[in-house]
Amino acid sequence: MASVHTFNSIEDSLLSMTNHLVLYGEKISPRGEPTYELRNVTMVIKDSSDSIATDMNRNVNVKLASAEALQLMGGFSDPEVMGNIAPNTRQFRTGGVFNGAYGPRIRPQLEKATERLRIDGGTRQAVVTVWDPLYDQQDGIKDIPCTVSYNWHIRDDKLHQTTHMRSNDIWWGWTYDLPMHASLLHTMAHILDVGVGDYVHVVDSLHIYERDIHASGLLHPSKEKGIRLTGITASSWEEVRKVAHDIFYDNIDHSQSYYTASEMSYHGLLHG
Low-confidence winner among 5-19, 120-134, 154-168 (lowest mean pLDDT) = 5-19
CA distance 49 to 226: 9
Q: List the CATH number of the domain containing 28.
A: 3.30.572.10
Cβ-Cβ contacts under 8 Å for 87 (sequence gap 6 or more): none
Strands 26-28 and 3-9 turn out to be: unpaired
* CA nearest neighbour of 72 among 248, 258, 268: 248
φ and ψ at residue 164, rounded to 5 degrees: -105, 120
Query: Would you state the pLDDT for residue 256?
Result: 64
The predicted model scores a pTM of 0.94
Domain with 149, as residue range(s), is 3-271
Q: Which of 45, 66, 57, 44 is nearest to 176 (CA)?
A: 66
Total tally of structural domains belonging to the chain: 1
Whats the size of the chain, residue-wise? 272
- Span 84-141, pLDDT tens digits: 999 999 988 888 888 899 999 999 999 999 999 999 999 999 999 999 998 888 887 7
Distance CA 115, CA 186 (A): 16
Share of the chain above pLDDT 90, in %: 74
Residues 6+ apart with CB under 8 A from 176: 60, 61, 64, 65, 68
- β-pairing, 35-47 with 3-9? parallel
pLDDT at residue number 255: 64
